[in-house]
Structure 1
């Protein structure tokens, strides 16, 4: 029997990322996403395809973490009031014995892990999050103090870019809310796959970004930004029912 990584989440270290997520979502993820056949790299709770220089793990030093959290807490006290916020920090996972520590999702896409960044990207006029973007495909999870998020992106097609993200576990969820989270993510992945196939064959589209991510109220949004051959941008947004 595998050893759980977190006390409150059934995450089996003897299973791979795809298997663990499939268990949590109640579906075979391989039926909902297009998994690359070549170039797939495995990190710590992330699998990805990249190009250029490889990604390395960057763990913070203990003294740096303590100082950073103290500064962050002081800033939050001043901004919103003492005790009126929650700070989540992902502690490093111990490396496997005898091996180099593997990169996590926050090492591979450090500026593109959070929902807010996905929504901002969806509404922006840029096709890629950054000019030096080097990730073609990724599936990963981020464990926070009380929740776990999933991020999926497929940027392999030069014309169609896909991002799906959201929370798939919260320690405070009822069984009903847990099922709703699962259904929203599964629905988002299925819709994203169909939309990608539709836009790939659309001659009236120069490029398109298809993003499913929670907004500030944690409501799952579908945001589609399309550039037509004349260079005109159109963005549409709708809510994914839970």
Structure 2
């Protein structure tokens, strides 16, 4: 009878030692998993911070793009308005070389006589018109050059805005994918940690039962 009790005690002790060792191993794995979960959560937080920063950068670029487009529109409108004003000034140049014919002269049917300086005045007007035409042409060419320059600058700025927008979208997609992957991994690690905690709890209960059985056997002996 004593031999049987001793054998049972040995078996229980061996089982208890085995369970204790398994419990220790599970505790170690549990600690590693907790550290892994914390690291995943830190990486996830860092990714979220980067994503938020990129979204702010993207919003800033969009605002800058709209501002540049508005500046371009205003500059083009100003150039067009300036061109119209110069064109109207050219068309509305007063004809000072024309003589004012009096009513008396018209009623008498007399041919109006022109003084020498008034005979030469049309030639002076032609020279003035040529100068005005040249000046207006130069001004129009200057405005056209400004418009071309503004168009080139606008195209370059639009290209830069598109490039920045494309890079921001690519980084946004990349971070979103990485963010999702990190979330899945963190969820998986948490699930494994929960399962291991259940196993640890079950082992602890088994150890308590074995210890109780050992104590009962000790009491009987």
Measured against the shorter chain, the TM-score band is under 0.3
Report which of the two has the higher share of strand: 1
Report which of the two has the higher share of helix: 2
Q: Return the index of the structure with the highest Cα Rg.
A: 2
For normalisation by structure 2, the TM-score amounts to 0.18
For normalisation by structure 1, the TM-score amounts to 0.17
User: Which structure exhibits the higher relative contact order, with contacts defined as CA atoms closer than 8 Å and separated by 6 or more residues?
Assistant: 2
